Amino acid sequence: MSEQQHGHEAAQKAGFETRAIHAGYEPDPATGAVIPPIYATSTYKQDGVGGLRGGYEYSRSGNPTRTALEGNIAALEEGERGFAFASGLAAEDTLVRALCAPGDHVVVPDDAYGGTYRLFDKVERAWGLEHSSAAVSDVDAVRAAIRPGETTLVWVETPTNPLLNIGDIEALAAVAHEAGALLVVDNTFASPYLQQPLTLGADVVVHSTTKYCGGHSDVVGGALVVRDLEVAERVGFHQNAMGAVAGPFDSWLVLRGLKTLGVRMDRHCDNAERVVEFLAGHPDVTQVIYPGLEEHPGHAVASRQMKRYGGMVSFRVAGGEQQALGVCERAEVFTLGESLGGVESLIEHPGRMTHASVAGTDLEVPADLVRLSVGIETVDDLLADLDRALGARA
Ligand SMILES: *Cc1c(COP(=O)(O)O)cnc(C)c1O
């Protein structure tokens, strides 16, 4: 590990926001640059054969901008090491190949992110990896889906997408470990500010840094953080051997995003709470789905393991699919689009958009469902926009 990855030892033990701003990088000794440069270089001059400066020889193996991001996100998740990838799915594929072999079995959420499910079902399965699905909110169902001696990974998302189901990370870690499997938590929806799965017993954290970590809808990226050195070595080997690394500019964008993660998440949560309150009082809204609501079945677990309940809100409307589609189309401040976690509010119809590929399967979502990624605009503008979009009934 380079000196920079260890950088700012004090910052690694400091509070979350201090780590977000300082961990992973020391001001450049030559210039004092406070922010790591975008090291747009593929290779590095050696001082004699094998005389590497700071361990860098080729940018697939290591790049200082990426190193800064990897050190930073490891500090935020309180893990041993971080790894940055070209996308969330690239991180997932690398992790699976690092920790599984053909013939192994994994348990995946029955409402996994569609791309994750497709990766297991269409890509990893052809490679010889079997999978079964279970509801992450049901610890017994996850235990029952494990095949002792064959299951190497229990894969969990919490909250899930778009129904915001909650998995009990501590209990699921115990169930996985009992069976000799590792627990992987996709922490994309919560972000490390709201939830740190490694501190609750998980072995690996996965992020689509495209979402809250980047936070500005301007980069696609992924990350893994691991708690154990042996796992780190396998992941590090596969990161280099498979090559799906984050480039220096993308790494720089995610690192910049992480510096403001705490303040952004607090505002996402503040605004989401106001949106939930508004929707709950609207006559055309039949159900509001948000883990912060006491009637949400995962509320108690979410209260234990999350700092707050996040910026994602889903709701169902009385007017069925037509009204759900109409709301999505009439909203103006909420931009109609896929993805989530950026500063701007987004609205979408999961049944026709993000979850269209699971129609007709067990993962199908209700047609009257609308999903919001509540951004950090002026909250009154968000409420007025929803009021207008809901009001004109199709
Ligand atoms: C977006 C997303 C992914 C995939 O990440 P990409 O960066 O799009 O490859 C994985 N998991 C969750 C929960 C996501 O939202």
Specify the residue with its C-alpha closest to ligand 1, atom 6.
88
What length is written for the chain?
394
Average pLDDT over residues 359-385: 93
Q: Where are the beta strands (DSSP E) in the chain?
A: 81-85, 105-109, 130-134, 151-157, 182-186, 204-208, 222-226, 285-289, 312-317, 335-336, 346-348, 369-373
Which residue type sits at 77? Answer: E
CA of 89 to the centre of ligand 1 (A): 6
Domain end call among 215, 236, 259: 259
Same domain, 341 and 268: yes
> Which letter does DSSP use for residue 121 in this model?
I
Domain end call among 212, 229, 259: 259
Which pLDDT score, from 0 to 100, does residue 9 have? 55
CA of 222 to the centre of ligand 1 (A): 8
Same domain, 237 and 172: yes
Q: Which residue has the higher pLDDT, 356 or 382?
A: 382
Ligand 1 pocket mutation, candidates 87, 208, 220, criterion most atoms within 8 A of CB: 208
Residue 101 has pLDDT above 90, yes or no: yes
CATH number reported for the structural domain that contains residue 325 in this entry = 3.90.1150.10
Which pLDDT score, from 0 to 100, does residue 7 have? 44
pTM, 2 dp: 0.95
Which pLDDT score, from 0 to 100, does residue 394 have? 43
Ligand 1 pocket mutation, candidates 184, 211, 218, criterion most atoms within 8 A of CB: 211
Same domain, 330 and 223: no
Query: For residue 338, how many other CB atoms are within 10 A of its CB?
Result: 11
Residue 89 has pLDDT above 80, yes or no: yes
The confidence band for 114, taking pLDDT boundaries of 50, 70 and 90, is confident
Domain end call among 259, 275, 307: 259
Residue 366 has pLDDT above 90, yes or no: yes
SS3 state at 314? strand
Which pLDDT score, from 0 to 100, does residue 149 have? 94
CATH number reported for the structural domain that contains residue 19 in this entry = 3.40.640.10
Same domain, 321 and 360: yes
311 lines ligand 1 (CB under 6 A): no
Catalytic residues: 60, 113, 186, 211
Same domain, 288 and 234: no
Residue 183 has pLDDT above 90, yes or no: yes
Specify the residue with its C-alpha closest to ligand 1, atom 7.
88
Which pLDDT score, from 0 to 100, does residue 2 have? 43
Specify the residue with its C-alpha closest to ligand 1, atom 8.
88
Q: Do residues 150 and 132 make contact, with C-beta atoms less than 8 angstroms apart?
A: no
Average pLDDT over residues 125-151: 97
Give the count of domains, the chain: 2
CA of 202 to the centre of ligand 1 (A): 19
Which residue type sits at 281? Answer: G
Same domain, 238 and 274: no
366 lines ligand 1 (CB under 6 A): no
Which pLDDT score, from 0 to 100, does residue 3 have? 41
Residue 216 has pLDDT above 50, yes or no: yes
Same domain, 243 and 272: no
> Which residue range forms the structural domain that includes residue 364?
262-390
Same domain, 266 and 248: no
**Separation of alpha carbons 301 and 297, rounded Å:** 9
Return the ligand 1 atom nearest residue 339 CA. Answer: 1
SS3 state at 320? helix
The confidence band for 48, taking pLDDT boundaries of 50, 70 and 90, is very high
CA of 392 to the centre of ligand 1 (A): 33
Same domain, 35 and 137: yes
The confidence band for 357, taking pLDDT boundaries of 50, 70 and 90, is confident
Same domain, 117 and 95: yes
Which of 113, 182, 184, 123 lies closest to 151, judged by CA? 182
Residue 5 has pLDDT above 60, yes or no: no
114 lines ligand 1 (CB under 6 A): no
CA of 183 to the centre of ligand 1 (A): 18
Same domain, 273 and 183: no
Average pLDDT over residues 290-317: 98
201: left (phi over 0), alpha (psi -120 to 50) or beta: left
The confidence band for 392, taking pLDDT boundaries of 50, 70 and 90, is low
Same domain, 270 and 253: no
Percent share of the chain, pLDDT over 70:
96
Which pLDDT score, from 0 to 100, does residue 4 have? 44
The confidence band for 358, taking pLDDT boundaries of 50, 70 and 90, is confident
Retrieve residue 215's tokens: 């936070």
The secondary structure of the chain in percent helix, strand, coil, rounded to multiples of 5, reads 40, 15, 45
Specify the residue with its C-alpha closest to ligand 1, atom 1.
208
The predicted-structure confidence for 162-177, as pLDDT tens digits, reads as follows: 899 999 999 999 999 9
**CA distance readout (Å), 1 to 12, 34, 139, 204:** 15, 21, 37, 19
**Separation of alpha carbons 80 and 228, rounded Å:** 6
